[in-house]
Structure 1
Amino acid sequence: MKWQQRVRVTTGLSCWQIMLHLLVVAVLVMGWTSGALVRVGLGLCVLYGVTVVMMLFLQRHQEERWRNVGDVLEELTTTWYFGAAMIALWLLSRVLHNNLLLAMAGAVILAGPAVVSLLAKEKTSLEDLPPKHRVRH
């Protein structure tokens, strides 16, 4: 087994995803040591937002090669979402000093995409169910 495959099996992440995480941590540490952590955090959140918008745009493109780029961006944004959410919550805590509101914002930020994903799933109609699963009236 190649070392990249061992890393993937052990961590669940590809090598480029791990390198991206290490790069983000390095940027955050550099921002912290230089006293520019708020600006670095804002920049990372903006970069994440731009990546999400590009992903949404490219996944619906007519050319397959651009859709493949959109799929890579989807994997990137899925991997990086929790870090971006934590940075956004930390930035929010700099201006919002109510712990209850911060907890609610954190719950919305972290659970929001999962709830939207569950609500956006197609609902199965009664015609799609096999006869043994039909509801009798």
Structure 2
Amino acid sequence: MAGGTYTLLVELERPVTLEVGALGEVALDAGWYGYTGSALGSGGFSRLDRHREVASGEHDVRHWHVDYLLGHDAATVRGDIRTADDVECAVARQLPDAVVGFGCSDCECTSHLTRADDEASLRGVVEDAHRVASDEA
């Protein structure tokens, strides 16, 4: 797969309060978060490498809302779910919103961040959202 839509799966081991750029202060409970984005440029899914670099501390520049979450020491990237289609907003709209305005400053979505209590629940809803969005594309 060269590029498409992805949802990063992030475990947040404890509650945190983040200062997220222009979005401001955001309080997040411990649990599992899914951040949906697109990787449609020439680098395709290599964008996920940058996200992992931010999460590991190798890269500290904060451009996107998700960078503030990934850069926190309580957050760990645990995987991702990918779709070859350009269905970023269709996936995000099917998922419960965790933080209004998170990751969607360039679209009409309510949020591109979702939350679940555990990994299995998060993977289930995200996989379903990717499948339905791809089927409708």
Superposition TM-score, scaled by structure 1 size: 0.24
Larger relative contact order (C-alpha < 8 A, sep ≥ 6)?
Answer: 2
Which entry has the higher C-alpha Rg, 1 or 2?
A: 1
Higher strand residue share: 2
Q: Give TM-score, length-normalised by structure 2.
A: 0.24
Normalized per residue, which structure has more helix? 1
